[in-house]
A = this chain, B = another copy of it.
Amino acid sequence: MFAEAKKYDTAAASGTLEQQADQAKSLQRKFDQMRKFNDSIPLKLLKARESTMAFFRPILQEAGLTEQQWRVIRALNEYEELESKQLAELCCILSPSLTGIINRLESQGHLKRRKSTEDQRRVLISLTDQAKQLFKELSPRLEGRYGDLTNQISKEKLQQLNELLSEIIHLEP
């Protein structure tokens, strides 16, 4: 995830006015030359994701949570208790990253671990009351932002996008 999109829109906003104009022309010329670069699907998916996250990031930042930490909390709020591996799959976070995320959330008092009794290898994770409370506070605000986002697109387009993304997701190299 890269920074908020705005930070990338200021490239030409430097130097004198003449320099700005020169830079703008120069960049425009260059952009024309290499349409392929900017048209790549992976790059556009990256940018699109960043644009959507810009809606939520401020709220999460204010709460002192990262995007990934929120995904974990959100999943646990729905599933009550999950194994580390299930959490990884749901949140699209690799196990090694998840270990650190869980450690930090645990030391912040947001969740608890316990070992499965049947299988000593498995770790079961659940939210603390504190985290459930935090979820109740943040969830409506984030849902509101999600509404702001989706309201800027027609229902049909949103539906289309969802279907197209699903198709992409199921591609096999």
Of A46, A50, A86, the most chain B CB neighbours within 10 A belong to A46
A-B contact pairs, 18 of them (CB 8 A): A2-B92, A8-B88, A37-B75, A37-B90, A40-B146, A41-B52, A41-B150, A42-B53, A44-B162, A44-B165, A45-B49, A51-B168, A51-B171, A55-B171, A152-B171, A153-B167, A153-B171, A160-B164
Instruction: Tell whether A105 is near chain B: CB-to-CB under 8 Å.
Output: no
* Cβ–Cβ contact A41 & B74, under 8 A: no
* Cβ–Cβ contact A41 & B161, under 8 A: yes
Q: Which residue of chain B is the closest to A4 with respect to CB atoms?
A: B173
Known pairs A45-B45, A47-B169, A160-B160. 6 more at Cβ < 8 A?
A2-B97, A8-B89, A41-B149, A51-B170, A145-B173, A157-B164
Question: Which residues of chain A in 33-67 are interfacial with respect to chain B, using CB atoms and an 8 Å cutoff?
Answer: 33-34, 37-56, 58
Where the two chains meet, the residues of A that have a C-beta atom closer than 8 Å to any C-beta of B are 2-3, 5, 7-8, 11, 15, 27, 30, 33-34, 37-56, 58, 71, 74-75, 78-79, 85-86, 88-90, 92-94, 97, 119, 145-146, 148-150, 152-153, 157, 160-162, 164-171, 173
* Cβ–Cβ contact B52 & A171, under 8 A: yes
Assess A79 versus B164: contact at CB under 8 Å? Given A8-B92, A52-B45: no
Q: How far is the CB of A105 from chain B (nearest CB, A)?
A: 17
Using Cβ atoms and an 8 Å threshold, which residues of chain B touch A86? 11, 27
A78 interface neighbour in B37, B79, B149, B162, Cβ under 8 Å: B37
A161 interface neighbour in B51, B153, B168, Cβ under 8 Å: B168
Using Cβ atoms and an 8 Å threshold, which residues of chain B touch A148? 173
